[in-house]
């Protein structure tokens, strides 16, 4: 009887521990929210960052983390987390507005080329859809084309109309595939980062004794080309390239 009791106690302890671990992310999130509401921003950061460390992330976690860093006047970290939130939820209006506000407070005013109204309209879906959503949309258009072509065999009288509709879907599919390939390239093969230190000198090579080229400040977004010896080669435009320490930048 005693052995049975010990075994039962051991199993209960294990299952209780597993249950606590499963509930832990939600508990951390609630503690982070509570700390933020009580203006304990350092505490809120620790809870949200722990969620990031255990890979329990969501747009809400990154958005709240961005807001918390903004309250702590850490503009670089705020921009970093708003960018991460928008990657997961590109239609989040609050995150987009807060990112714009945080960027307006950075020292380096490096403006991206204006796309214009027409290009903005053409890229609206690309800017507002996630990689998974674009993949699902391409799959749906492909399926629609197949169905219309199948129906055209049975509805001979309306075959021409069916072909026109399938052709329209085909053109839309081609455009969607272009967006999808660009999104895959941007999110999986292109590295971008945010400067998180107050300021950092960019040099002509991956060492402190290389020639100083320019200075970047907290919150600036950079494209990362390659890394070597604890340094990143970055570029901001075709003519503005250099090397900065890895510790000065966080990957989006």
142-176: pLDDT as tens digits: 888 888 777 777 766 666 777 777 788 888 888 88
For residue 197, name the pLDDT band (cuts at 50, 70, 90): very high
pTM recorded for the entire structure: 0.76
Find out whether 219 and 106 touch, Cβ atoms under 8 Å.
yes
pLDDT of residue 15: 40
Q: Confirm if 45 and 72 have CB atoms less than 8 A apart.
A: yes
State the pLDDT at residue 133. 85
CA 134 – CA 125 distance, rounded (Å): 9
Q: Which residues pair with 201 in a beta bridge?
A: 215
Domain spanning 2-104: CATH superfamily: Tetratricopeptide repeat domain (1.25.40.10)
Kindly report the CATH number that applies to the domain delimited by 191-251.
2.30.30.40
Domain ranges of the chain: 2-104, 116-189, 191-251
Closest CA to 179 of 137, 224, 142: 137
Whether residue 51 is predicted with pLDDT greater than 60 in this model: the reply is yes
Task: Please tell me which residue, 247 or 190, carries the higher pLDDT value.
Answer: 247
**Looking at 160-164, 223-227, 244-248, which range is the least confident one?**
160-164
Same fold, 2-104 and 191-251: no
In the predicted model, is pLDDT for residue 22 greater than 50?
Answer: no
């Amino acid at each position: 009887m005693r052995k049975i009791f010990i075994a039962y106690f051991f199993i209960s302890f294990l299952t209780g521990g597993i249950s606590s671990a499963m509930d832990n992310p939600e508990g951390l999130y609630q503690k982070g929210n509570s700390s933020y509401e009580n203006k304990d921003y350092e505490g809120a950061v620790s809870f949200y960052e722990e969620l990031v460390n255990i890979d329990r992330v969501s747009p809400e976690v990154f958005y709240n983390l961005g807001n918390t860093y903004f309250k702590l006047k850490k503009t670089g970290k705020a921009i970093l987390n708003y960018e991460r939130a928008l990657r997961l939820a590109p239609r989040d209006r609050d995150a987009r507005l807060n990112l714009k506000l945080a960027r307006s407070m950075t020292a380096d005013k490096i403006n991206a080329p204006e796309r214009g109204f027409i290009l903005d309209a053409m890229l609206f879906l690309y800017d507002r859809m996630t990689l998974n959503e674009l993949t699902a949309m391409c799959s749906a258009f492909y399926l629609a084309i197949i169905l219309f072509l199948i129906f055209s065999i049975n509805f001979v009288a309306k075959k021409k109309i069916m072909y026109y509709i399938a052709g329209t879907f085909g053109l839309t599919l081609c455009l969607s595939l272009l967006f999808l390939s660009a999104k895959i390239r941007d999110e999986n093969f292109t590295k971008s980062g945010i400067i998180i230190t107050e300021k950092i000198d960019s040099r002509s090579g991956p060492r402190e004794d290389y020639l100083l080229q320019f200075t970047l400040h907290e919150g600036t977004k950079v494209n990362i080309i390659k890394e070597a010896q604890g340094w990143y080669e970055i570029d901001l435009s075709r003519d503005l390239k250099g090397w900065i320490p890895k510790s000065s930048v966080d990957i989006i």
